[in-house]
Amino acid sequence: MAESTPGLPVVLDTNGNPIMDSNMGNMSIKQLDEFEEGSESSEPKVKRVGRFATFLNLCNAMVGAGIVSVPSTFNATGLGPTTILLALCGFLCFYSGVIMLGLQSDHKVSGLNELAYKIFGNSGQLLVSICIIIFAFSCTVAYLIIGANQIKSWLTLAGYNMTGKTEWALLMTFYLVVLPGMMTIPRHLDCLSKLAIPSVAGVAFYFFVMIIKAFTLLPKPEYPDPTTIGYKMSFEIFTAFGVHSLTFSLPVIMLPIIAPYNPSVRKRVYVMGWTFIATWLIVSIPAAIGYLLFGQNTKSDVLSSFPDNDILILIVRVGMFISVSMSYPAIVMSITGSLGQMLYQQNNPELLTSKQRWVLIPLVNIANLVVAIFFPDIRSILGVGGSIGGCLVGFVFPSLCRIVTRNTSLSTLTNVGHICFIVFGIIMSIICTYSSVKDAISSMKK
């Protein structure tokens, strides 16, 4: 998961809510007509964003540096079933997103927390916030591991091999303190906007380099890797599903991003549908290529599977390093805001007092560091986040909201469908969390 690009024309505040625009009078008649289409007179006047810009922002929010862990999910079930699993998870997340768009239109909200408060009150908002915090923590921990892995590869290239746990802990601590952790200290994060485009470019370059690797390596007789499996079943499929749920977690993060777009639900579903198609291609194609190249030996960070002296991969590593280093402080600020709301009734991290910030920010950074040191397997970390954030918030929450707000019998076909989706989300969350934690403990022992 990546943050929305400040360079694109979405105008959001620190909490991801659309900022009011006082210059509505400068809009043309055509723009005003487009603005009013499908909206109600009571809707807040926000600065509207076009379809293509919204599409780019949604893609940027979904596709982050965490995609380097998706190739390793093919180890669980092989090439065929994992490709189908990716498609299934993407479809379920799209279906959940459609429900969320309907709820957003009905209740005039710009975020999940606001929606949870309107329907379930303080207790519902608290539960949703906790799930989102766990979801965000999995991203920040994964980003720390990815960033440290890139430094480790550069040190190996320079002739310094790091194999011990103590060395890994020192490297991780050094990386956090010197770069991403240091960037969480400033009250304002305006500096990140200057590196937003290079951050996105790093992910895009990874996609194209994997395509190049497919054309140059796969025709050779030693490829695909002999350990590549077409079909296989194992309990790790649930960890894979958790990772995929986090990868396609648009329902969890899309409301603030899509809020400035045309209020028409039909148009929002349309742009969201194209976002899922594009994201599925961007994620699945490099993932399948990575698995074909390395088979069952594909590491949780696929870049670590390539030789350290590979020039193209070396450039990709630089791009990914920038991407995770810039995304980390932004997500930490989001976690700090959520914790600030719980402890100090202040969800804007910029408005927290200095004392409150010096309690929360080090606490979040240290928690990320400890988990990253002892559980270095990115796949299992993302699996936990996807199991709780993706399955509970992404699958269970939207259908539960619909059942509570619909004044119809539970026996209606629509409500039965929502109940099935809720039961499915709860069961998958429990099983996927267990599988991911089991894999994380196993990786720690190794």
Bridge partners for 46 per DSSP: 20
Number of H-type helices and E-type strands within the chain: 16, 0
Number of domains in the chain: 1
**What residues contact residue 100 under an 8 Å CB cut-off, 6+ apart?**
251, 254, 255, 398
Q: What percent of the chain has pLDDT over 70?
A: 87
Whole-number pLDDT of residue 47: 64
pLDDT at 38 over 50: no
Residue 223 gets the label, from left (phi > 0), alpha (psi -120 to 50) or beta, of beta
Any domain includes 133 = yes
Q: Is it the case that residue 338 has pLDDT exceeding 50?
A: yes
Residue 161 domain flag: yes
- Tell me how far apart the alpha carbons of residues 303 and 298 are, in angstroms, rounded to a whole number: 9
Q: Is 15 domain-assigned?
A: no
Distance of CA 20 to CAs 103, 350, 404, Å? Answer: 22, 19, 31
Report the distance separating Cα 176 and Cα 433, nearest Å: 27
pLDDT at 419: 94
Given pLDDT bands bounded at 50, 70 and 90, which one contains residue 46? low
Q: Is the pLDDT of residue 61 over 80?
A: no
3-state secondary structure of 402: helix
The single residue listed with the structure tokens 């030789």 is 307
pTM (predicted TM-score)? 0.82
**In angstroms, rounded to a whole number, what is the distance separating the alpha carbons of residues 437 and 431?**
10
Whether the CB-CB separation of 293 and 370 falls below 8 Å is answered with no
- What pLDDT is stored for residue 372 in this prediction? 92
Give domain status of residue 435, yes or no.
Answer: yes
pLDDT in tens, 123-146: 888 898 899 899 989 999 999 999
> What integer pLDDT is reported at residue 25 of this predicted model?
36
Q: Give pLDDT, residue 284.
A: 94
CA dihedral 83, 431, 1, 270 (to 10 degrees): 60
pLDDT tops 70 at residue 301: yes
* CATH number of the domain within which 226 lies: 1.20.1740.10
d(CA 69, CA 382): 8
- Chain centre to alpha carbon of residue 169: 25
Radius of gyration of the chain (CA): 22
61 within some domain = yes
Residue 232 is predicted with a pLDDT of 85
The mean pLDDT of the chain is 83
Q: Which domain holds residue 120?
A: 24-445
Q: Tell me, what's the pLDDT at 150? A: 92
Residue 287 structure tokens: 């993932």
**Does residue 26 carry a pLDDT above 80?**
no
Sort 404 into a burial class: Cβ within 10 Å, 0-12 / 13-18 / 19+: exposed
pLDDT in the model for residue 195: 56
Mean pLDDT in residue range 182-197: 69
Q: How far is it, in rounded angstroms, from Cα 399 to Cα 421?
A: 7
Q: Look at 272 and 350; give whichever has higher pLDDT.
A: 272
Number of neighbouring beta carbons within 10 Å of residue 214? 18
Rounded Cα distance between 102 and 73, Å, is: 32
Q: What is the mean pLDDT of residues 151-180?
A: 88
**Distance between CA 112 and CA 128 in Å, rounded?**
8
Q: Pick the closest to residue 313 from 85, 144, 150 (CA basis).
A: 150
pLDDT digits over 375-422, tens only? 888 889 999 998 988 889 989 999 999 999 988 888 889 899 999 999
Measured between alpha carbons, how far is residue 306 from residues 149, 164, 206 in Å?
Answer: 12, 20, 13
Distance of CA 435 to the CA centre of its chain: 20
Interatomic CA distance for residues 133 and 140, integer angstroms: 10
Would 82 be classed as within a structural domain? yes
Q: Is the confidence at residue 351, as pLDDT, over 70? A: yes
Pairwise CA distance, residues 367 & 370, whole Å: 5
- DSSP reduced 3-state for 20: strand
pLDDT tens-digit series, residues 197-233:
666 777 888 999 999 999 999 999 999 999 999 888 8
Q: What is the pLDDT of residue 199?
A: 66
Asked whether residue 28 carries a pLDDT value surpassing 60, the answer given is no
Quick check: 443 pLDDT over 50?
yes
- Concatenating the DSSP letter of every residue in 324-380 gives HHHHHHHHHHHHHHHHHHHHHS---GGGS-HHHHHHHHHHHHHHHHHHHHH---HHH
The DSSP bridge partners found for residue 18 are 12
